[in-house]
Amino acid sequence: MGRMHTHRHGKSHSIRPATPRAPSWITQSPAEIEGLIIKYTKDGLTPSQIGIKLRDQHSIPLVKAITNKKMGQILEENDLKAEMPEDLENIVRKAVNLQKHLKSNKGDNRNVRSLELIEAKVHRLSVYYKRIERIPKTWKYKSVVAQLE
């Protein structure tokens, strides 16, 4: 899959397991895996960090193949789901950090454009999450691009 605002191809990624069935080497029960997910969430890890930890430390390639539930469903059942989706939160954090950088570095014109592209991604993603009712319809990203120019 290509990148959104560049001409390069984004090929670097981990590969999902070939079959959606539960592997034979897994010794944990679905309840134990759900317990691990809940424990790691309470420790402050994000869903993607939990997935990496389960993959690397517990040899669990896919949660859904074993538990028949997605990680988001498990978190939702236990009232641990974050109020803002992780990808939107990461992009907003990136935009805020870039705004702080631009306040202290007034002559950095290249990153003004980068901020515009990041804010376009925030807007596009927020429209999607409003449509599927994952965030409130009144949620709005407040931009400070006007202050920078």
96-114 b/e with 16+ CB inside 10 Å = b?
eebbeebeeeeeeeeeeeb
pTM of the entire structure?
0.79
The pLDDT of residue 68 is 92
Q: How far apart are CA 149 and CA 131, in angstroms?
A: 32
Q: How far apart are CA 123 and CA 140, in angstroms?
A: 9
Q: How far apart are CA 79 and CA 57, in angstroms?
A: 25
Q: Cβ(53)–Cβ(45) under 8 Å?
A: yes
Residues of the chain with pLDDT under 70: 1-3, 143-149
* CA 88 to each of CA 47, 124, 126, 128: distance values in angstroms, whole numbers, following the listed order: 13, 10, 7, 10
Nearby residues of 126 by Cβ (< 8 Å), 6 or more positions away: 88, 135, 139, 140, 141
Q: Which two tokens stand for residue 127?
A: 């429209």
Q: Cβ(23)–Cβ(63) under 8 Å?
A: no
The pLDDT of residue 14 is 74
Q: Cβ(29)–Cβ(73) under 8 Å?
A: no
